[in-house]
């Protein structure tokens, strides 16, 4: 097991990474105020891992309540959040009850927002079970739900007390989920670490084959990058925005297609190609850089073009992007592979050209 820390003063917390941590309740119990836990999971992850985690906690004398939600991005909404509140109230969960999110990004966001807002905030632990959640969404305290008009529009920054990344569970991931996770893995390299991008180019097949050592290395590298960025800029007033590379376009694709039709990582992959293309049109990087990114994403099994949304529709969806300032869109663009900046003042003509490139059906 390896342990990193997210250095956030009184809100600092550890990230444990290793195989079979799910059964090690001794890692969880030191973080509890009361021996009572509500595990939030979904109908896909629950049957695989809920019993194992619950039994380990019960054996330590912890009372466990299970809240099993429907699976999918389309359920990241108020109605599902309310199901969590109702279950917490029904089970008489108190301010010192801890919520555990057992699942991928959607479960982490929903359970985290419930923890942030139930009785104005109760303790929270992330047990991410997808690659995407282990390398990205479980770290840093972004929680929330979607609004029909925009992804993650309603939410809170609310840090967990612990992140427990059991890399053994990645072996049961469907290939499509694994690829979606690789999109965020590649993103970490593109905005912060060219050496890691080069490592990914050498190891993408091992990752797709669920090679344990390769996965453990990728998870650790991403967690290191994410933890450092979050520690520097918890509430995204600066450097943290760079981790949204590909997300301005990606969120527009996700909500334009209807939540859940593309996985988040798939939309981010296509969005990163668009952001790279725009970086090239702005003169920051070369076509060779764009091609290099495109090839790596393709090898990871990811889409590399948006699915045919019109530029008008994309613009409309992007107008609500959270980076928008004074009505002006701002984009995370690459300076080179391994480094990015937030840029305003992108000429409309160049943006139009980027948006007009899309996948042929």
The site for its own copies (CB under 8 A) is made up of: 34, 78, 82, 85-86, 89, 92, 94-96, 116-121, 142-144, 147, 149-150, 152-157, 235, 319-320, 322-327
24 in the Ramachandran plot: left (φ > 0), alpha (ψ -120 to 50) or beta? beta
Q: Please identify which of the residues 10, 92, 120, 202 carries the catalytic annotation.
A: 120
The C-alpha angle with vertex 145 and arms to 256 and 9, in degrees rounded to 5, equals 125
What would the 3-class secondary structure string for 312-344 be? HHHHHHHCCCCCCECCECCEEEEEECCEEEEEC
**Residue 331 C-beta: closest distance to its own copies, Å:** 15
Nearest Cα residue to 41 out of 81, 101, 82, 99: 101
Output 212 or 258, the one with its CB closest to its own copies: 258
Asked about 264 being catalytic, the answer comes back as yes
State the minimum distance, in angstroms, from the CB of residue 116 to its own copies: 6
Q: Which is nearer to its own copies, 171 or 348 (CB)?
A: 348
Q: Which is closer to its own copies, CB of 320 or CB of 346?
A: 320
Q: CA 296 to CA 304: how far, in whole Å?
A: 10
Which is catalytic among the residues 73, 177, 236, 266?
236
Q: Is 201 a catalytic residue?
A: no
Is-catalytic flag, 247? yes
Half-sphere exposure of 60 (CA within 13 A, CB side): 20
Minimum CB–partner distance for residue 342 and its own copies (Å): 13
Is 20 among the catalytic positions?
no
Minimum CB separation of residue 121 from its own copies in Å reads: 7
Q: How would you list the strands of the sheet with 162-166, edge to edge?
A: 2-6, 13-18, 162-166, 124-128, 98-103, 36-42, 63-69
Q: Is 16 a catalytic residue?
A: no
Give catalytic residues, as residue numbers. 120, 142, 184, 226, 236, 240, 244, 247, 251, 264
């Amino acid at each position: 097991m390896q342990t990193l820390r997210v250095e956030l003063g009184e809100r600092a917390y550890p990230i444990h990474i290793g195989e079979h941590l799910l059964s090690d309740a001794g890692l969880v119990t030191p973080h509890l105020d009361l021996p009572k836990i509500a595990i939030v999971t979904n109908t896909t992850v629950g049957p695989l891992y809920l019993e194992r985690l619950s039994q380990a906690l019960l054996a330590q004398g912890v009372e466990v309540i299970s809240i099993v939600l429907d699976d999918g991005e389309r359920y990241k909404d108020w109605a599902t959040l309310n199901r969590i509140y109702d279950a917490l109230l029904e089970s008489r969960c108190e301010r010192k009850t801890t919520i555990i999110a057992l699942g991928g990004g959607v479960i982490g966001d929903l359970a985290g927002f419930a923890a942030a807002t139930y009785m104005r905030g109760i303790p929270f632990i992330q047990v991410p079970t997808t690659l995407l959640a282990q390398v990205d969404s479980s770290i840093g305290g972004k929680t929330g739900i979607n609004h029909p008009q925009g992804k993650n529009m309603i939410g809170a920054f609310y840090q967990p007390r612990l992140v427990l990344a059991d890399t053994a569970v990645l072996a049961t991931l469907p290939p499509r989920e694994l690829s979606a996770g690789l999109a965020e893995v590649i993103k970490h390299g593109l905005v912060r670490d060219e050496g890691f991008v080069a490592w990914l180019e050498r190891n993408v097949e091992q990752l797709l084959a669920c090679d344990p050592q390769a996965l453990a290395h990728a998870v650790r590298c991403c967690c290191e990058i994410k933890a450092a960025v979050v520690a520097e800029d918890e509430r995204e007033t600066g450097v943290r925005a760079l981790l949204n590379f590909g997300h301005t376009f990606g969120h527009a694709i996700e909500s334009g297609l209807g939540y859940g039709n593309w996985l988040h990582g798939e939309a981010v992959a296509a969005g990163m190609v668009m952001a790279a293309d725009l970086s090239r049109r702005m003169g920051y990087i070369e076509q060779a850089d764009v091609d290099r990114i495109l090839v790596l994403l393709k090898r990871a099994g990811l889409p590399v073009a948006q699915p045919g949304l019109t530029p008008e529709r994309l613009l409309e969806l992007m107008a609500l992007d959270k980076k928008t300032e004074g009505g002006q869109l701002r984009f995370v663009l690459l300076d080179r592979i391994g480094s990015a900046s937030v840029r305003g003042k992108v000429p409309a003509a160049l943006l139009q050209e980027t948006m007009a490139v899309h996948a042929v059906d």
